[in-house]
Amino acid sequence: MDAVLRLELPTPYPVGTVNAWWLDGPEPVLIDTGVPTRANLEILEAALAVHGRSLGDVRRILLTHDHADHAGAASAVARRSGAPVHMHARGRLGPRWKPEEIQALARFLLRCGMPADVLAGAGEALRRDARYADADPVVPEPLWGGEILDSPLGPLTVLATPGHSHDHLSYLAIDAGLLFCGDTLLPYITPNPILHLDPDAGFRRVPSLLQHLESLRTLAALPVRRAHPGHGPDLLDVAGRVAHDLAFVQARQGVFLAAIRRGADTPWSLAQAVFGDQDPTGRFLAVSETVAYLDLLERDAGLDVRWEADPIRVGRT
Ligand SMILES: [Zn+2]
Ligand SMILES: [Zn+2]
């Protein structure tokens, strides 16, 4: 068996499958876990059994971030193995949204100009998504980034790479030149920096795209020969993929500016102009991404955003 085994697991999401990574040795490490379903655990066990391994052998569970396709099965694997779960201190096992967080999010989306009936549909979609939350979470061990953990690949450096999610971590096996980058860098898609209102800071919005761009620059500078992403095949040219994503963001800024010139003046109307109509989840993601770009356009393109207005107003200075 290779030192790193890719476990490709099905998810109920449009992204398709998710990758979990088994680092083999006397003290095996599992990075990410798939969704919290019985079927997922059976697939994991079957894939490991081929190599004479089982989930009971895991000595440490590491999570890149708390989205259900990555973190969902962490508690179940922890119970099966007795292994601790490590994740970012701000990440969360169990339900993604607390009631007060849903309220804060709803208020913010209405201020983005999202119509109330569209908001109701998006809320329903997010609630449906909640059935993939871990129903019985264990207490994870917190990481912040900067820690160095033991692993079968030698020292594993924990890197804070927020943006796609506020709690995103990547793991660098420096001796092997390998990077586990979760959803920060993906082979076929440019990750969506998802809207996050920080419950520890009065639900202040996190500038997710600005954070994501910083994280990409961090990854591009690392001495790695191969990156293992959260979805899809390995990346052999990390700096090249980062350059691709930076160019994508640059081009999309131009699309937003053109829509603003044509008259879109709230985050919702801008999202409609750029992404067109979407299903309920897609409408949330479109506004989420639009808001993330407003930070960048405000910083780099002289856009005037009146964040305190209701609805939030976007215009040229
Ligand atoms: Zn994710
Ligand atoms: Zn993912």
Banded pLDDT at 316 (limits 50, 70, 90) = confident
Q: Which of 61, 59, 91 is nearest to 73 (CA)?
A: 61
Contact 75, 92 (CB under 8 A): no
User: In whole numbers, what is the pLDDT of the chain averaged over residues?
Assistant: 95
Residue type, position 252, single letter: R
Q: 317 CA to middle of ligand 1, Å? A: 35
User: Do 218 and 171 meet the contact criterion of CB atoms below 8 Å apart?
Assistant: no
Ligand 2 center from residue 189 Cα (angstroms) = 11
CA of 191 to the centre of ligand 1 (A): 8
Residues 151, 298, single domain; the answer is no
25 shares its domain with 137? yes
For 258-309, the pLDDT digits (tens) are 999 999 999 999 999 999 989 988 999 999 999 999 999 999 999 999 999 9
pLDDT in tens, 65-77: 999 999 999 999 9
CA of 263 to the centre of ligand 1 (A): 32
Of 236, 268, 300, the residue at which a domain comes to its end is 236
21 & 109 share domain: no
CATH label of the domain that carries residue 32: 3.60.15.10
What's the CA gap between 293 and 193, in Å, rounded? 9
CA atoms of 308 and 313, how far apart (whole Å): 9
How remote is the CA of residue 164 from the centroid of ligand 1, in Å? 6
Whether residue 66 sits in one domain with residue 9: yes
317 confidence band (pLDDT: 50, 70, 90) = low
Q: Quote the longest CA-to-CA distance of the chain.
A: 64
CA dihedral 215, 70, 144, 218 (to 10 degrees): -20
Ligand approaching nearest to the C-alpha of 65? 1
Q: What is the DSSP letter of 50?
A: T
Distance in Å, CA 83 to ligand 1 centroid: 23
Q: In the chain, what is the straight-line distance between the N-terminal and C-terminal CA atoms, in Å?
A: 60
Nearest ligand, CA of residue 285?
A: 1
What's the CA-to-centroid distance between 177 and ligand 1, angstroms? 23
Total number of domains constituting the chain:
2
One-letter amino acid for residue 234 of the chain: D
In angstroms, what is the span from residue 33 Cα to ligand 1's centroid? 12
Same domain, 119 and 232: no
Same structural domain for residues 125 and 138?
A: no
Residue 244 covered by a domain: no
179 and 157 belong to one structural domain = yes
In the reported structure, the alpha carbon of residue 145 is separated from the centroid of ligand 2 by a whole-number distance in angstroms of 19
- What is the identity of the amino acid at 300? D
Claim to verify: residue 137 and residue 126 sit in the same structural domain: no
Phi, psi at 258, each rounded to 5°: -65, -40
- Among residues 188, 72, 200, the alpha carbon closest in space to that of 138 is found at 72
Do the strands 303-306 and 313-316 form a parallel or antiparallel pair, or are they unpaired? Answer: antiparallel
Give residues with Cβ within 8 angstroms of 49, minimum separation 6.
none
- Cα(116) to centroid(ligand 1), Å: 27
Q: Please report which residue ranges of the chain form alpha helices under DSSP H.
A: 38-49, 68-71, 74-81, 99-111, 116-129, 208-220, 238-261, 267-275, 280-300
Q: Are residues 281 and 159 in the same domain?
A: no
Looking at the structure, tell me whether residues 221 and 299 fall in a common domain: no
Taking alpha carbons only, the member of 22, 97, 17 closest to residue 56 is 22
Please tell me the distance between residue 36's alpha carbon and the centre of ligand 1 in angstroms. 15
Which domain, by its residues, includes 303?
Answer: 99-130+255-316
Closest residue by Cα to residue 96 from 284, 287, 290: 284
Ligand found nearest the CA of 18: 2
Closest ligand, as measured to the CA of 194: 1
**How many angstroms separate the alpha carbon of residue 21 from the centre of ligand 2?**
13
| Residue 242 domain-assigned (yes or no) | no
For residue 167, tell me if it sits in a domain.
yes
Final residue belonging to a domain, choices 178, 203, 236: 236
Residue 138 pLDDT greater than 90, yes or no: yes
Asked whether residue 204 is domain-assigned, the answer is yes
- Identify whether 139 is part of a domain: yes
**End position of a domain, from candidates 175, 206, 236:** 236
Over the stretch 210-239, which tens digit does the pLDDT of each residue have? 999 999 999 999 999 999 999 999 999 999
For Cα atoms 187, 67, 231, give the angle at the middle one, nearest 5 degrees.
20
Residue 303 within any structural domain of the chain: yes
Are 37 and 68 part of one and the same domain?
Answer: yes
**DSSP, res 130:** G
| Tokens describing residue 87 | 């994740």
Q: Averaged over 86-92, what is the pLDDT? A: 96
Closest CA to 53 of 169, 178, 177, 152: 152
Tell me, yes or no, whether 16 lies in a domain: yes
- Nearest bound ligand to the CA of residue 168: 1
pLDDT for position 132: 78
Distance 232 CA to ligand 1 centre (A): 13
pLDDT at residue 127, rounded to an integer: 77
Q: Would you say residue 250 lies in a domain?
A: no
231 Cα to the center of ligand 1, angstroms: 9
pTM exceeds 0.85 for this model: yes
Looking at residue 166, its pLDDT comes to 96
Ligand of minimum distance to the alpha carbon of 163 = 1
Give the closest ligand to the alpha carbon of residue 9.
Answer: 2
User: Do 139 and 262 share a structural domain?
Assistant: no
- Give the ligand with the smallest distance to the CA of 19: 2
